[in-house]
Amino acid sequence: MASLTLPRHTGIFSGSLPTRPTLRYAAPAKVRMSLSESGPSIAVVGVTGAVGQEFLSVLSDRDFPYRSIKMLASKRSAGRRLTFEGNEYVVEELTAESFGGVDIALFSAGGSISKEFGPIAADKGTIVVDNSSAFRMDEKVPLVIPEVNPEAMHGIKLGTGKGALIANPNCSTIICLMAATPLHRHAKVLRMVVSTYQAASGAGAAAMEELEQQTREVLEGRPPTCKIFKQQYAFNIFSHNASVLSNGYNEEEMKMVKETRKIWNDKDVKVTATCIRVPVMRAHAESVNLQFESPLHEDTARDILKNAPGVVVIDDRKANHFPTPLEVSNKDDVAVGRIRQDLSQDGNKGLDIFVCGDQIRKGAALNAVQIAEMLL
- Catalytic amino acids? 171, 284
Length of the chain measured in residues: 376
Residues 6+ positions from 207 with CB-CB distance below 8 Å: 200, 201, 228, 229, 233
In whole angstroms, how far apart are CA 10 and each of 70, 264, 299, 326, 366?
27, 32, 33, 8, 16
Nearest to 43 by CA among 31, 26, 55: 55
DSSP helix/strand/coil, 218: helix
Instruction: For residues 186 and 349, give the distance between their C-alpha atoms in angstroms, rounded to a whole number.
Output: 12
Instruction: For residues 180 and 182, give the distance between their C-alpha atoms in angstroms, rounded to a whole number.
Output: 6
87 CA to centre of own chain: 27
The helices-and-strands tally (H runs, E runs) of the chain is 8, 15
Instruction: For residues 112 and 63, give the distance between their C-alpha atoms in angstroms, rounded to a whole number.
Output: 31
Instruction: For residues 13 and 18, give the distance between their C-alpha atoms in angstroms, rounded to a whole number.
Output: 7
Q: Residue 185 is inside which H or E element, if any?
A: helix 171-187
SS3 labels along 300-327: HHHHHHHCCCCEEECCECCCCECCCHHH
Residue 170 DSSP one-character state:
P
Instruction: For residues 313 and 328, give the distance between their C-alpha atoms in angstroms, rounded to a whole number.
Output: 12
Nearest to 185 by CA among 105, 264, 106: 264
Contact 107, 365 (CB under 8 A): no
Residue 132 DSSP one-character state:
S
- Which phi and psi (to 5°) does residue 184 adopt? -60, -40
